[in-house]
Amino acid sequence: MNKIKTIPYMPTDLEVQNIDDHTAKVIAYPFESGFAITLAHPLRRLLFSSSVGYAPIGLKIDGVTHEFDSVRGILEDVAFFILNLKNIRFKINDENTDKIEIKYTFNGAQELKGGDLETNEISIVNPEVHLATLNEDAEFSFSIVIAQGIGYVASEYIRNSIESDYIALDAFFTPVRKAVYEIEKVLVEDNPNYEKIVFTIETDGQIDPVDAFKNSVKAMNTQLSVFNKIMDNDFIAKTDVETCDTEILKLLESIDTLKLSARSSNCLEKAGLKYIGELAVMSESELKAIKNLGKKSLDEIIEKMKEIDFPVGEDLGEDILKLLSKKIEELKTKEEEE
């Protein structure tokens, strides 16, 4: 028997299955009928479009001026060499570096594979991939620019990012090779129409598949957060403390909830600051001007405000500022009356 509801059923179960180093399943349930595909489809698209990977974006070969040239002593023409190069999956070892140039020199008869390009700065995910075949008199020197990015970027958009003597390469950054989902029925109490999402994610090894899924969820939440700013003026005029959205309510909480050190709390109290919202509307320079507030206390306050997603100096918007100012004034007046 169907029940009258006021809110959708909240999914409670999550399972993560690591199939191998490159493949994982993420399973979540139970969802209301129709909710599973509503969430699964955009998450699948975000897995491909928002996952960060690495790719070669520029190539310079000594003695070569364009991609249709050839190199003495190399079996493959430059065009085929570029195709092979694009099949190699790189990874910059330093997480703080988003672009790097690597130079190589190879001489004599040998088969070059992806693993031959590995250095202290970069790793090769698929070292067995064939790159080029050199004969006895080969002298092969080239440089590669490897960059971090998302999605696919055509070479014409890359030319401005590399030096003019480099051949610009189409860059396929996406490390996700497969992202599929299945929607299955699941029984909740006596209702068989609830749904389960079974995601299968496969990557090329540049990123763990579960991390790729986490990043896509984070990207979705970040994109949806823009709608948190919706606040109609008429709605604001009628809103009181009990019906403010959760962001405003957070700003109306006491500074004590930040659990600052005694020194920081005492400085703010002496300055007459009682509510988080009073800190949220201040710039860093205004905070610095508070009497006896040292650098250590300032850094602590800035860090605490970041933790609650209200960084010091962030523009809250005119409407929220008006409402916030009004509510804080009402709260202080009420305290004085009591």
Q: Which residue has the higher pLDDT, 6 or 216?
A: 216
- Name which of 74, 78, 55, 82 is nearest 65 in CA terms: 78
pLDDT at residue 239 above 50? no
Mean pLDDT of 104-129: 95
The conformation of residue 50, written as its DSSP 8-state character, comes to S
Residue 75 structure tokens: 């079996």
pLDDT at residue 40 above 90? yes
Residue 187 pairs with which residues in a beta bridge?
Answer: none
Mean pLDDT of 206-220: 94
pLDDT confidence tier of residue 243, bands split at 50, 70 and 90: very low
CA distances for 334 relative to 250, 269, 328, 337, angstroms: 19, 18, 10, 5
Other residues' Cβ atoms within 10 Å of the Cβ of residue 233 = 10
Residue 316 structure tokens: 């809250």
| Burial (CB count <10 Å: 0-12, 13-18, 19+), residue 77 | middle
- Name which of 242, 266, 243 is nearest 255 in CA terms: 266
CA distances for 133 relative to 78, 93, 102, 116, 273, angstroms: 12, 27, 20, 12, 72
Are residues 60 and 228 in contact, defined by beta-carbon separation less than 8 angstroms?
no
Least confident of 120-124, 209-213, 327-331: 327-331
Q: Which residue has the higher pLDDT, 16 or 329?
A: 16
Total number of residues shown for the chain:
338
Are residues 81 and 117 in contact, defined by beta-carbon separation less than 8 angstroms?
no
| Burial (CB count <10 Å: 0-12, 13-18, 19+), residue 64 | middle
**Distance in angstroms (rounded) separating the CA atoms of residues 51 and 43:** 11
Are residues 197 and 27 in contact, defined by beta-carbon separation less than 8 angstroms?
yes
Look at residue 238 in the predicted model and tell me its pLDDT.
42
Least confident of 128-132, 156-160, 200-204, 243-247: 243-247
In the chain the domains, ranked by start, together with CATH numbers, are 13-51+176-227 (3.30.1360.10), 53-172 (2.170.120.12), 231-337 (1.10.150.20)
Please, what is the end-to-end C-alpha distance for the chain in angstroms?
52
Mean pLDDT of 271-289: 85
pLDDT confidence tier of residue 338, bands split at 50, 70 and 90: low
Q: Hey, CA dihedral for 124, 129, 134, 136, is it positive or negative?
A: positive
Rounded to two decimals, the pTM is: 0.63
Mean pLDDT of 132-138: 93
Look at residue 309 in the predicted model and tell me its pLDDT.
80
Are residues 239 and 158 in contact, defined by beta-carbon separation less than 8 angstroms?
no
pLDDT confidence tier of residue 245, bands split at 50, 70 and 90: low
Look at residue 24 in the predicted model and tell me its pLDDT.
97
Q: Which residue has the higher pLDDT, 131 or 95?
A: 131
Least confident of 35-49, 90-104, 196-210, 277-291: 277-291
pLDDT confidence tier of residue 206, bands split at 50, 70 and 90: very high
pLDDT at residue 3 above 90? no
